[in-house]
């Protein structure tokens, strides 16, 4: 089964609050983004945003230029439906982050929680990082969260790559300065504990 079919099925078959990566609040992401996105008009993209409530919370915080990209139309449909009329102020992109055409040097913040770790092939990681380098403006920020070194080896039944903060920063390379990293113990709706690492980098 290809990736798009997998993710479309997940979001069509399961309630958004029941998936293992569900968060009732995207508090850590919101706090870190707020630290670096100082102008409410800063363009922010949530890559593989799925049905996350981060977009709701960024709108609540006053941000006006938001893009949510996801492979799965069914995931974006959940978020749009939840937001109601507020969804019209968000740019929605149904696309694969490895091949999407994004504007050059545009985004002030690139956010990814639990997407980069699915890229188990070096060529896919290279394609992803090349997109970040092109799409994030110089001085802009990249906030990526993956399973940590001691996190699960799979997510949604798919294999993942686990990272320490140094490894995650290393995957992005010298075009990005590491500003900070944090661990988070995520508790899934079923009560399992999953270690995440968040890296906040600045595009040189």
Ligand X SMILES: C[S@@+](CC[C@H](N)C(=O)[O-])C[C@H]1O[C@@H](n2cnc3c(N)ncnc32)[C@H](O)[C@@H]1O
Binding residues for ligand X (CB under 6 A): 3, 7, 21, 48-50, 52, 69-72, 75, 96-98, 113-115, 118, 155-156
Nearer to ligand X, 39 or 185 (CB): 185
Q: Please report how the helices 3-13 and 73-83 are oriented relative to each other, as an axis angle in degrees rounded to 10.
A: 40
Nearer to ligand X, 14 or 202 (CB): 14
**Smallest separation, CB 181 to ligand X (Å):** 17
**Smallest separation, CB 48 to ligand X (Å):** 3
- Name the closest residue to ligand X (Cβ): 50
**Smallest separation, CB 96 to ligand X (Å):** 4
**Which DSSP string do the residues of the chain spell out, in sequence order?**
--HHHHHHHHHHHS-GGGSTT--S--HHHHHHHHHH--STT--EEEET-TT-THHHHHHHTT---EEEEES-HHHHHHHHHHHGGGGGGEEEEES-TTT----TT-EEEEEEESSGGG--SHHHHHHHHHHHHHHEEEEEEEEEEEEBTTS-SEETTEE---B-HHHHHHHH-TTEEEEEEEEEEEE-TTS-EEEEEEEEEEE-
Partners of residue 198 on adjacent β-strands: 145, 182
**Smallest separation, CB 1 to ligand X (Å):** 13
**Smallest separation, CB 193 to ligand X (Å):** 16
Nearer to ligand X, 115 or 135 (CB): 115
**Smallest separation, CB 78 to ligand X (Å):** 10
Nearer to ligand X, 69 or 135 (CB): 69
Q: Can you say how many angstroms the Cα of residue 141 is from the centroid of all Cα atoms in its chain?
A: 13
Q: What is the DSSP letter of 97?
A: T
Nearer to ligand X, 21 or 34 (CB): 21
Nearer to ligand X, 76 or 201 (CB): 76
């Amino acid at each position: 089964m290809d990736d798009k079919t997998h993710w479309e099925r997940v979001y069509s078959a399961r309630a958004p609050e029941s998936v293992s990566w569900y968060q009732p609040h995207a508090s850590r992401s919101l706090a870190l983004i707020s630290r670096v996105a100082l102008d409410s008009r800063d363009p922010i993209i949530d890559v593989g945003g799925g049905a996350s409530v981060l977009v709701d919370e960024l709108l609540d915080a006053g941000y006006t230029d938001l893009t949510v990209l996801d492979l799965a139309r069914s995931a974006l449909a959940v978020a749009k439906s939840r937001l109601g009329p507020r969804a019209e102020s968000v740019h929605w992109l149904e696309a694969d982050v490895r091949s999407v055409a994004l504007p050059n040097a545009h985004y002030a913040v690139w956010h990814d929680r639990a997407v980069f770790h699915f890229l188990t092939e070096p060529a896919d990681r290279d394609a992803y990082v090349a997109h970040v380098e092109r799409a994030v403006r110089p001085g802009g920020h990249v906030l990526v969260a993956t399973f940590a070194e001691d996190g699960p080896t799979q997510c949604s039944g798919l294999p993942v790559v686990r990272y320490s903060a140094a490894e995650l920063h290393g995957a992005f390379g010298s075009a990005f300065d590491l500003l900070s990293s944090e661990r988070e113990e995520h508790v899934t709706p079923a009560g399992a504990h999953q270690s995440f690492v968040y890296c906040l980098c600045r595009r040189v």
